[in-house]
Chain A
Amino acid sequence: EPEVTQTPSHQVTQMGQEVILRCVPISNHLYFYWYRQILGQKVEFLVSFYNNEISEKSEIFDDQFSVERPDGSNFTLKIRSTKLEDSAMYFCASRQGAVADTQYFGPGTRLTVL
């Protein structure tokens, strides 16, 4: 069964460093998402991406965040200058496209900012 994959599973970085989180969505899916979940808190929407551009973003997704689909298969989330409060699980999700379609989540990347 097709699945969303994410790498790395765990990323440790120093405050102020740049990190890139990688995702490979399900191959025939057209909509891509990043969510984050701070430990003990709810899953929060960050950004949606369709047709090679951001379609929606939340207040959390400020100028330090960016997304890219560099090669038609990978979907990346870059955090330019990490802060302690960026420590969280980051989940990638993809959806085929119809209104009623389900989004499928990847296993997540645990980001720890020291």
Chain B
Amino acid sequence: QKEVEQNSGPLSVPEGAIASLNCTYSDRGSQSFFWYRQYSGKSPELIMSIYSNGDKEDGRFTAQLNKASQYVSLLIRDSQPSDSATYLCAVGAGKSTFGDGTTLTVKP
């Protein structure tokens, strides 16, 4: 059974701070990793995809992948109240396995 575990929330950070979200996965053969943002009652919205070890930056978001440790993280710099949402880690490009999500609240 492939599993994806995310750090338990909720996570609360002040506006302008760095939010750090973590995820571990069980299937060592996994090749594709995704972070989605989900607002309540809405569908997952892709934030970042990462396929190779190391860091990938896109604006205020940085995804980090360490396949040896089976670990994926997402850093959100200069957090804004509009970043308040549930962040989902997903493994696999199709037939994705999702984590439970971490709810982030950014306080003004």
Contact = CB atoms under 8 A, between A and B. Distances in A.
Interface of A: 31, 33, 35, 41-45, 48, 56, 89, 91, 95, 99-108, 110
B28 interface: no
Contact of A108 (B31, B43, B100): B43
Contacts of B41: 89, 110
Given A95-B93, A95-B94, A42 B42 contact: no
B20 interface: no
A63 B95 CA distance: 19
Given A41-B100, A43-B98, A105-B45, 9 more contacts: A43-B44, A48-B95, A91-B44, A95-B93, A100-B31, A100-B49, A101-B93, A104-B46, A110-B41
Contact of A42 (B31, B49, B93, B101): B101
B49 A33 contact: no
Interface residues of B, number: 22
A99 B31 contact: yes
B43 A107 contact: yes
Interface of B: 31-32, 34, 41-46, 49, 51, 88, 90, 93-101
B93 A108 contact: no
A33 B42 contact: no
22 contacts: A31-B94, A41-B100, A42-B88, A42-B99, A42-B100, A43-B88, A43-B96, A43-B98, A45-B95, A45-B96, A91-B43, A91-B44, A95-B93, A99-B32, A99-B93, A100-B32, A100-B51, A102-B34, A103-B96, A105-B44, A106-B43, A108-B42
Given A45-B95, A95-B93, A102 B43 contact: no
Contacts of A33: 94-95
A26 to B, nearest CB: 13
